[in-house]
Amino acid sequence: MQLSDVRPLPLFVGTTDEELQLLVDLGDEVGFGPGDEVFHDGEPADFWWVLVEGALDLLRKVGREETRLGVMDQPGQWAGGFRAWDAHGVYFATARALSAGRLLRVPSTALRRWSTERFPFGEHILEGVFHSARTFESIARQRESLVALGTLAAGLAHEINNPASAATRAADVLRETGAGLLTALSHLAAHGVTADQYQALDELRLAVPRPTTRPDALATARREDELIDWMGRHGVERDWAVAPALAAHGVDIGWLEKMDDLLGDALEPGLEWVAGTLSTASMLDLVKDSTRRITDLVADVKSYSQLDRASMQQTDVAEGLESTLAMLAHRIPPGVTVVRDYGDDVPSIDAAAGELNQVWTNLMANALDAMGDAGTLRVSTRADGDGVVVEIGDTGSGMSPETRDHAFEPFFTTKDVGKGTGLGLDISRRVVVDRHGGQISILVRPAETVLRVALPLRHPHD
């Protein structure tokens, strides 16, 4: 590259020949032909590129399609070089040649030295702008993460509180029931119940079926009234305390008649003892179900956070979707129906499962916000060639063309001031596209808005 090649460029008006020659000497000439790609979106911006002649398209892949962000077709237009002022700077687009041409390529480190020596104040200004932008972005991302973490923690506390409270209530009932059982046994002994009678009483207890399904409330209430009427006619004073447990287990009048024939005057303590054993079994089942629910929640959190797993691993996307649904259960209104459509032949993929779970969280949270109190949240997976496709669909108010055009931009949001820092789609795009080599796109149908994520089976850097 000669001084005469770049001297006419408007970019260098005000730069002396000596200064410009030093810049040219720091770089080199890069020629290109139609279809050549000079630099790529997301790669470190280690070079500063100045167009001398020719034309380049600036492209970025959004979903399955390439979007044209702009064109470099005027000599003197430049791109890249951001690492001169920002250690984390990357190219924002891929440059693909439309025609033959030439570029001046200068390393970012050399550009920084050259500009610092000639305009140190301007260098400080540029560095401050880049540093401020990076700092503000980092603060906003951290705040967004903290808000999301607080929301998940509150939801998890709510989900755990329900079974924990149920187990506590069951333990209190068990204490009372245990005391009642001892009292009933004492009364049976006081009535002179023989060993044979007690054995027959236990056989009648064992004959009471354990409900395998949730009993019908109306039918149980009717049965309870019938049992109370019968007990009232047979001198059972605490019929109100005994009848509910017996009715819930399907005890009928015929069974009570057998108890009356067996125990006579000892009927009431016999009924209290049977009712107590049935209540004890029911409470133990409740404790078991409650603690199992807590264990399942802990497992869901473990699966969601991936704390015990490697960063990149064989990942079942359906497992991640399920753990995310569990984490967001507190946010799903009663009027929203969750439809799961998991393909049977979906293979595991190489992925950072914890990062993908953040993507699912963003997409599901946006879908729930779009629907409000009613709608259908569809979560589906399917195999697709050499990868898998995940779709999160909602029947909300839809997405405008303007929102679709800007949805993947940093900090873009449709929410009111003070309600979040964005849709999270920029972060999701980075995880899916940059981290996993996949694609994320938006599909708007007449009755559904769908966020589609396509992921390869193998990690692109393997």
Residues 289, 315: one domain? no
Amino acid at 231: M
Domain end marker among 266, 296, 326: 296
Q: Please give the C-alpha separations between residue 44 and each of 64, 76, 194, 218, in angstroms, as whole numbers.
A: 23, 22, 90, 69
Q: What is the pLDDT of residue 451?
A: 92
Question: Per residue in 403-438, pLDDT tens?
Answer: 777 777 665 566 543 444 345 677 788 888 878 888
Q: Residues 282, 321: one domain?
A: no
Report if residue 394 sits inside a domain: yes
Identify the pLDDT of residue 54.
94
Q: Same domain for 284 and 389? A: no
Residue 28 lies in a domain: yes
Q: Examine residue 461 and state whether it is found in any structural domain, yes or no.
A: no
Is pTM beyond 0.75 here?
no
Confidence at 402, pLDDT banded by 50, 70, 90? confident
More confident residue, 337 or 436: 337
User: CA 310 to CA 320: how far, in whole Å?
Assistant: 15
Number of folded domains that form the chain: 3
* 290 & 315 share domain: no
pLDDT at 252 over 70: yes
pLDDT (tens digit, 9 = 90+) per residue, 353-393?
878 888 898 899 889 988 988 999 999 999 988 899 999 99
Are 177 and 287 in the same domain? yes
The last residue of one of the domains, among 66, 99, 118, is 118
Confidence of residue 461 (pLDDT cuts 50, 70, 90): low
- Is there a domain that residue 218 lies in? yes
In this structure, what CATH number is given to the domain that contains residue 43? 2.60.120.10
Beta strands 387-394 and 94-97, pairing class: unpaired
**What is the pLDDT, as a whole number, of residue 149?**
61
- What is the average per-residue pLDDT within 52-81? 83
pLDDT on residue 357 = 84
> Which residues, 6 or more positions from 11, have their beta carbon under 8 angstroms from its beta carbon?
50, 76, 77, 78
Q: pLDDT tens-digit profile of 302-334? A: 656 554 444 678 888 998 898 888 878 878 889
Same-domain check for residues 183 and 114: no
Determine what percent of the chain is predicted with pLDDT higher than 70: 84
Range of the domain at 316: 310-456
Please compute the mean of the pLDDT values over residues 196-213 and round it to a whole number.
86
Output 284-289 pairs: Cβ under 8 A, ≥24 positions apart. Answer: 284/170, 284/174, 286/166, 286/167, 286/170, 287/167, 287/170, 287/171, 287/174, 289/163, 289/166
pLDDT above 90: residue 116:
no
Distance CA 21, CA 3 (A): 6
Q: Does residue 59 or residue 67 have the better pLDDT?
A: 59
In a domain, 136, yes or no: no
Question: Model confidence at 125, in pLDDT bands (50, 70, 90)?
Answer: low
pLDDT at 389: 94
- Is 401 a domain residue? yes
Q: Which residue has the higher pLDDT, 110 or 142?
A: 110
* Judgement on whether residues 188 and 268 belong to the same structural domain of the protein: yes
| Choice among 26-35, 241-250, 411-420 with the minimum mean pLDDT | 411-420
> Positive or negative CA dihedral for 176, 178, 184, 190?
negative
- Mean pLDDT for 142-153 is 60
Cβ pair 331, 365 in contact under 8 A: yes
pLDDT the model gives residue 417: 39
**180 and 290 co-located in one domain:** yes
Domain boundary residue, one of 264, 296, 328? 296
Q: Tell me, yes or no, whether 237 lies in a domain.
A: yes
Q: Do residue 282 and residue 326 come from a single domain?
A: no
Give the chain's mean pLDDT: 82
Q: What is the CATH number of the domain that holds 411?
A: 3.30.565.10
pLDDT at 123: 56
Cα Rg of the chain, angstroms: 36
Question: pLDDT tens digits for 70-107?
Answer: 889 999 998 888 787 777 778 888 999 999 999 999 99
Same domain, 379 and 354: yes
Per-residue model confidence (pLDDT) at position 233: 92
Predicted confidence (pLDDT) per residue in 150-169, tens digit:
666 666 777 778 788 888 88
Do 238 and 321 reside in the same domain of the chain?
no
Q: Is residue 151 part of a domain?
A: no
Residue 231 has pLDDT above 60, yes or no: yes
Whether residue 83 is found in the same domain as residue 169: no
Give dist(CA 337, CA 324) in Å, integer: 16
**The pLDDT value given to residue 120:** 66
